[in-house]
Amino acid sequence: MSIEKSVKAFEEAQKLIPGGVNSPVRAFASVGGIPRFIASGEGAYIIDIDGNKYVDYVQSWGPLIFGHRNEEIETAVIEAVKHGLSFGAPTEAETELASMVTNFFESIDKVRFVSSGTEAVMSAIRLARGFTGRDDIVKFTGCYHGHSDSLLVQAGSGAATFGNPSSPGVPADFTKHTLLATYNDIESVKKCFTDSKDIACVIIEPIAGNMGLVPADKEFLAELRRLCDENGTLLIFDEVMSGFRASIFGAESITGVKPDIVTLGKVIGGGMPVGAFGGRSEIMAKLSPEGPVYQAGTLSGNPVAMAAGLAALKKLKAHARVMDVLHGRAARLVDGMKEMAQKHGISLQVDSRGSMFGFFFNDKPVKNFADALTSDTVMFAKFHAGMLDEGYYFACSQFETGFISTATTDAMIEETIKAADRVFGRIK
């Protein structure tokens, strides 16, 4: 497989763009090698600028549940573009998409659209602070909620739960109100509430996708809901990644736990840049211009993005049973990969939720970020490179989630499993 053009493109990009990429994980730093520069996508496939074709298990990190260049979504975008790219004024499409989102999510009465998941989470936390009149927030180590200052946090020293900045450029004053807990460990959350009586919200990925796929235990989430209620604290589900991927009705339909605020993105934009946050009417009433909590954005509710999101959700609603098919394929993929790994004496932990899947090169089940960090990243890098050579494009980090699209056929899944068998054999 020749990647000569990608090598040259990466060299040129590094002269003009920090690291040669506009989002760090794309640089292949954790797996080695040269990132593939993509020329086009079609259904389940992406094609790089050297003409190499890959079955795509990233799908733009989640948004493309119907694969690349889905005809209905593409048509909706083209028609919207004909009327204008942006107005900075209300359109009916915003209300229509808001209606669809609120109909899918029982916990959402009203929703505000923004342009990214980072913006959605940042705004949701500000709203929670404004609603409760409190300053502190609780997040979980290993859950990624975008790159806003108060969320780029690492564990504090000793037994302290208060976090320290995990990136230069973030003042310690910005993170002193962020407390850290351990995913799936309710005692660590209780300690946060002991350490602070000023907690506005607890934010969690109910189905974590940024430490690899690690779902929260139902019992843990139920206890988290109880703790929030006891302390007058809002519970935020970050479903930017899992929304409409794990279930079309949200994680609340899987876990039985209802959040106060939900953040969304990915699928609701159909491949266009979109984020959203929503919740109960009395909470959303605090948001400007109805209330005092300020949030704004020139491109919020962009008509082209709204058109793409509407087309995606309408298609999903019309074919709701496809989620069962996708879950079956995702489960078959990782179960088959685990079977092939065991055949070659390699330990592999796997899981799936809806059209999301994940796997760890680990001897033990992964329940939190500390568990994830014990995984064999060298083995993952070898596997990633081997699968690329076979024509299969997986997320370029052990700590990311994979995605199935409706364009991913059963035959593709079986061929992927066979390829994994060959790669595991070469690795051993």
Catalytic residue among 110, 191, 258, 266: 266
The rounded distance, in Å, linking the Cα atoms of 333 and 412 is: 9
CB 112 within 8 A of CB 284: yes
| Three-state secondary structure call for residue 71 | helix
CB of 321 within 8 A of CB of 328? no
The question of whether 392 is a catalytic residue gets the answer: no
| Greatest extent of the chain over all pairs of C-alpha atoms, in Å | 62
Sheet holding 199-204, edge to edge: 110-114, 275-279, 261-265, 234-239, 199-204, 136-140, 178-181
Instruction: Classify 89 as helix, strand or coil.
Output: coil
Q: In angstroms, rounded to a whole number, what is the distance separating the alpha carbons of residues 291 and 294? A: 8
| Dist CA 314 CA 173 (whole Å) | 44
Catalytic position from the list 45, 57, 144, 183:
144
Q: Give the CA distances from residue 291 to residues 98, 134, 275, in Å, rounded to whole numbers and listed in that order.
A: 19, 17, 21
Cα separation, 73 vs 171, whole angstroms: 42
- Sequence-ordered strand ranges (E) for 240-339: 261-265, 275-279
AA identity, residue 102: T
Q: What is the DSSP letter of 243?
A: B
The answer to whether the peptide bond before residue 292 is cis (omega within 30 degrees of 0) is no
CA distance 128 to 260: 9
User: Of 48, 56, 136, 238, which is the active-site residue?
Assistant: 238
Distance separating alpha carbons of residues 412 and 408, to the nearest angstrom = 6
- 294 annotated active-site: no
Helix 71-83 vs helix 303-318: crossing angle, to nearest 10: 150
CA angle (378 as vertex; 377, 379 as ends), nearest 5: 90
238 labelled catalytic: yes
Which residues 6+ apart lie within 8 Å of 321 measured at CB? none
Q: Do 35 and 397 contact (CB within 8 A), yes or no? A: no
Q: DSSP character for 153?
A: E
- Residues designated as active site: 144, 238, 266
